[in-house]
Amino acid sequence: MAKSTLRKVTMAVLAPAMAIGATVGLASAPASAAVWNTCDQWGNTTLNGYTLYNNIWGSGAGSQCIWANSGTNWGVNANHPNTGGIKSYPNSKKVINKSITSLGSLSSNYNVTVPSSGAYNTSYDIWDTDYDYEIMLWVNKTGAVGPLGTSQGNVTLGGHTWTVYKGTNGANQVFSFVRTSNSSSGTVNILPILKWIKDTKGWFGNETIGDVQFGFEITSSSGGLNFTTNNLTVSSS
């Protein structure tokens, strides 16, 4: 499935002119009052070292609202039509800004509650500082969604077994690691994945890792579905 670089720039907040057909709606935060919530297309805030983005970037999107109790506990209610194409990538971002060889460790814990219907994936989106390379780690997926590129086979890295896809969207190289079975919680050791791409495959050099994003890449969620990040931590040294 072709992907656009528009959503990558969860920096898209810096470029509202890139908005295409997205609307805001009346979806609400959970019953317990969140410390922050918004239905703005590019709504964002920073909480305890993480930056949260509503990030409704795709054509034909419906309504979506994001809430957060912290940078590591947040969620969205999204009502996107049952049509093709990614509508949004609400996410929480941690900035790393270290080269692969200077990293002693880079790992993350995740725990999510996701719907059984709709079309989406729960994924990490990892970028170098120049946005030349994108590494996606899909920990679960539902519905008619699939990664960009062609399969490179399976590999066990970072505590999980993945099917690896390699492709390009015209602007940057995309390496997608799709977990071979769905998971709603776990730990991902990200650094061995980056080293495998660099040292074993030679697909890039000693890149400086900029953003580690984690969120929900939503294609459809007709009728309004809830996606919750119960807990997320990204740690590096």
Question: Which tens digits make up the pLDDT trace of 202-215?
Answer: 999 999 999 999 99
Q: Assess contact for 119 and 103: CB atoms under 8 A.
A: no
What's the chain's average pLDDT? 89
Least confident of 112-116, 170-174, 176-180, 202-206: 170-174
Question: What pLDDT band is residue 23 in, cutting at 50, 70 and 90?
Answer: very low
89 neighbors 52 (Cβ within 8 angstroms):
no
**What angle is formed at CA 191 by the lines to CA 175 and CA 150, rounded to 5 degrees?**
15
> Among candidates 177, 179, 169, 190, which has minimal Cα distance to 233?
190
Q: How far apart are CA 41 and CA 56, in angstroms?
A: 5
pLDDT at position 32 is 56
What's the CA gap between 215 and 124, in Å, rounded? Answer: 7
Q: Is the model's pLDDT at 235 over the cut of 80?
A: yes
Please compute the mean of the pLDDT values over residues 71-79 and round it to a whole number.
Answer: 97
Q: Beta strand 50-53 with 44-47: parallel, antiparallel or unpaired?
A: antiparallel
The pTM of this model reads: 0.88
Kindly state the average pLDDT of the residues 136-153.
97
What is the rounded CA–CA span in Å between residue 2 and residue 195? 26
Percent of the chain with pLDDT over 90: 84
Burial class (CB in 10 A: 0-12, 13-18, 19+), 135: buried
- Residue 30's pLDDT is 54
CA distance 128 to 97: 8
Under 8 Å between Cβ of 197 and 178: no
Q: How many CB atoms lie within 10 A of CB 119?
A: 21
Of the candidates 148, 222, 205, which has an alpha carbon nearest to the alpha carbon of residue 178?
A: 148
Give the DSSP per-residue string, 151-193: EEEEEEETTEEEEEEEEE-SSSEEEEEEESS--SEEEEEHHHH
Q: What is the pLDDT of residues 110-133, one digit of tens each?
A: 999 999 999 999 999 999 999 999
Phi, psi (rounded to 5 degrees) for 4? -105, 155
Which is nearest to 66 in space by CA: 74, 214, 125?
74
pLDDT at residue 15 above 80?
A: no
Q: What are the structural domains of the chain?
A: 10-236 (2.60.120.180)
